[in-house]
Amino acid sequence: MKAHDAMYIGGQWRPAAAADTIAVVNPADERIIAEVPAGTAPDVDAAVGAAREALPGWAATPPAARAAFLGALHDAMARRGEEIARTVVAELGAPARFARQVQTRAPIAALAAYAELAAAHPFEERIANSTVLHEPVGVVAAITPWNYPVSMIVGKVAPALAAGCTLVLKPAEDTPLSAQLFGECAQAAGLPPGVVNVVTGHGRVAGEALARHEGVDHVSFTGSTSVGRHIGALAGGAVKSVSLELGGKSANVILPGADLGRAVAAGVGHVMANSGQTCYAWTRMLVHAAHYEEAVELARRELGAYRVGDPAADGTRVGPVVSARQRDRVRGYIARGVEEGARLVAGGTEPPRPTGYFVAPTLFADVTTDMTIAQEEIFGPVLSVLRYEDEEDAVRIANDTVYGLHGGVWASTEKEAVAFARRMDTGRVDINGGAFNTLAPFGGWKQSGVGREMGTYGLRAYLQTKSLQL
Ligand code: NAP
Ligand code: MG
């Protein structure tokens, strides 16, 4: 695939300071498809310098004009939507349909929504004798993961630009090609030089240099809880603001009286989509003892429809996971589940295809909350079904992890489901299959993170207040 042998800094593609490269591997066939430069501290320094230089001009650009730039960025990406989707298929292994719809169209639509928000947001408010100005927080470091590469970029870049911030993006090393395409789109949209910069590289080198850089005012990170903890500590030490979107172990609670077939099918789909590499996936399905075996059987049958295969081929619903490392990690968790006594209903550690980083869609029953697979984030196509005895038990199990990112509740009435959701320690809950809303706040309780993304709440993360007393 086409790749830049350069970083996007100050509106230009510039050679990296060092000669090292990162090989981008197609996880479906294990072939190297491109190489990108492995950025180091001098590249980060140049990018932050460009962002700092661009900051005063961009911050002073009227919100309506910033909105127009976001609109142009939307158009530039929309024009190349098919190419972006193909890139996500190749570097991540997402099935083509999913790559087109969820990985590409959704973030492009989010850009349009942010353009509207930028134009409509009141950047000042009146509180008694004060006028409170909402000003950009400054230069932003955006550090993103590989699982939804374009969505994660847009989810940080769009609100940062809407707020008047400039930024340096360090995408995940596994998915740098879609990030380079994003850089090209920023260039095509005519964004002023330095407003958006892209530095590819390893997290512990380029990411670390960026998070530590004294020219960065705010760090927005999405990724693992372990790296998030480290970045939070760095930001705290430097008194920078930080947003952390981390892991999850979300509960899908099916209450007695719910439409069991619908709830189970949606629950299976939630975990199998993107090969289970979704931070907010409902990886724990909670079912009342009276319906437990029926639910397990429904899930087993539903899982049969998730065809594993070449992500580029029509009809494939489950592609590979992103890397060999991820595959080994997920298989390790499956082995651990068996060891700890969970009942393996479908799937397992056997590779479903000889080449590529594939993991069989896996279903565990008789999972109890003390098991590793009920506590740790697996990030693969593995669903655990847990049994509860009554509502109190269901609440206890649902809340019994260090995470709190998302969840689902199914009941015979919305009222009953909402009453249960109020008792969940989590940032988001879908009620009887309520649709994903990109304008509602998204973010974790407990160790799932700090701060909120999406919509107005996402925009606020990139603003700081200045109160004028009149
Ligand atoms: P990760 O290892 O934490 O990496 C995330 C990003 O941070 C990557 O760009 C990575 O670069 C970079 N990084 C790694 N070490 C760094 C350091 N010391 N300093 C600065 N940056 C560093 O996570 P991942 O494996 O890519 O993604 C999977 C995890 O992310 C899962 O745990 C998942 O739950 C979580 N996630 C959460 C959300 C959410 O919204 N809450 C969304 C998606 C994913 P490299 O790629 O070079 O390592
Ligand atoms: Mg790869």
Q: Does any ligand 1 atom lie closer than 6 A to the CB of residue 176?
A: no
Closest atom of ligand 1 relative to the 228 alpha carbon: 3
pLDDT for position 37:
98
Do 411 and 460 fall within a single domain?
no
Do 455 and 433 fall within a single domain?
no
Tell me, yes or no, if 165 is annotated catalytic: no
CATH code of the domain in which 461 resides:
3.40.605.10
Which of the following is catalytic: 91, 184, 208, 245? Answer: 245
Does 161 fall in a domain?
Answer: yes
pLDDT for position 44:
98
pLDDT for position 341:
98
pLDDT for position 23:
98
CATH code of the domain in which 328 resides:
3.40.309.10
pLDDT for position 81:
98
Of 153, 181, 154, nearest to 36 (Cα)? 181
Tell me how many degrees the CA angle 295-408-340 measures, rounded to the nearest 5.
55
Q: Which two tokens stand for residue 226?
A: 């372990």
Do 396 and 365 fall within a single domain?
yes
For ligand 2, an ion, list residues with CB under 5 A. 25, 174
pLDDT for position 454:
96
Number of domains in the chain: 2
Burial 369-390 (b: 16+ CB within 10 A, else e): bebebbebbbbbbbbbbbbbee
Does 81 fall in a domain?
Answer: yes
Ligand nearest to the CA of 324: 2
Contacts of 120 (CB under 8 A, 6+ apart): none
Do 292 and 240 fall within a single domain?
no
Distance, in Å, from the CA atom of 461 to the CA atom of 452, rounded to the nearest integer, reads 7
Does 290 fall in a domain?
Answer: yes
Does 442 fall in a domain?
Answer: no
Do 431 and 453 fall within a single domain?
no
Does 94 fall in a domain?
Answer: yes
Interval between CA 339 and ligand 2 midpoint (Å): 30
Interval between CA 353 and ligand 1 midpoint (Å): 27
Do 296 and 410 fall within a single domain?
yes
Do 120 and 214 fall within a single domain?
yes
Tell me how many degrees the CA angle 262-266-267 measures, rounded to the nearest 5.
115
Q: Which two tokens stand for residue 393?
A: 């038990």
Helix/strand/coil (H, E, C) string of 103-138?
HHHHHHHHHHHHHHHHHHCCCEEEECCEEEEEEECC
Does 345 fall in a domain?
Answer: yes
Per the structure, the complete domain to which residue 26 belongs is given by 6-246+448-469
Do 306 and 180 fall within a single domain?
no
Does 443 fall in a domain?
Answer: no
Whose C-alpha lies nearest to ligand 1, atom 18?
A: 204
Place of tokens 């353009």: 115
Closest atom of ligand 1 relative to the 245 alpha carbon: 41
Of 152, 160, 310, 347, nearest to 246 (Cα)? 152
Does 231 fall in a domain?
Answer: yes
Torsion angle (degrees, nearest 10) of CA 159, 160, 164, 166: -150
For the stretch 146-201, pLDDT in tens is 999 999 999 999 999 999 999 999 999 999 999 999 999 999 999 999 999 999 99
pLDDT for position 419:
98
pLDDT for position 430:
98
pLDDT for position 244:
98
Considering only the C-alpha atoms of the chain, give the largest distance between any 2 of them, rounded to a whole number of Å.
71
Interval between CA 279 and ligand 1 midpoint (Å): 11
Low-confidence stretches of the chain (pLDDT < 70) are none
Of 342, 348, 388, nearest to 364 (Cα)? 342
Do 208 and 280 fall within a single domain?
no
Strands (E), 100-232: 124-127, 130-136, 139-143, 166-170, 196-198, 218-222
Distance, in Å, from the CA atom of 341 to the CA atom of 221, rounded to the nearest integer, reads 36
Interval between CA 258 and ligand 1 midpoint (Å): 36
Residue 159 has, within 13 A of its CA and on its CB side, a CA count of: 26
Tell me, yes or no, if 279 is annotated catalytic: yes
pLDDT for position 277:
98
Do 209 and 115 fall within a single domain?
yes
Phi, psi dihedrals of residue 47, rounded to the nearest 5°: -70, -45
For the stretch 93-146, pLDDT in tens is 999 999 999 999 999 999 999 999 999 999 999 999 999 999 999 999 999 999
Distance, in Å, from the CA atom of 460 to the CA atom of 160, rounded to the nearest integer, reads 9
Distance, in Å, from the CA atom of 375 to the CA atom of 359, rounded to the nearest integer, reads 20
Q: What is the CA radius of gyration of the chain?
A: 22
Do 460 and 405 fall within a single domain?
no
Distance, in Å, from the CA atom of 244 to the CA atom of 453, rounded to the nearest integer, reads 10
Which of the following is catalytic: 91, 165, 279, 302? Answer: 279
pLDDT above 90: percentage of residues in the chain: 99
Distance, in Å, from the CA atom of 64 to the CA atom of 68, rounded to the nearest integer, reads 6
* pTM exceeding 0.95: yes
- 310 neighbors 30 (Cβ within 8 angstroms): no
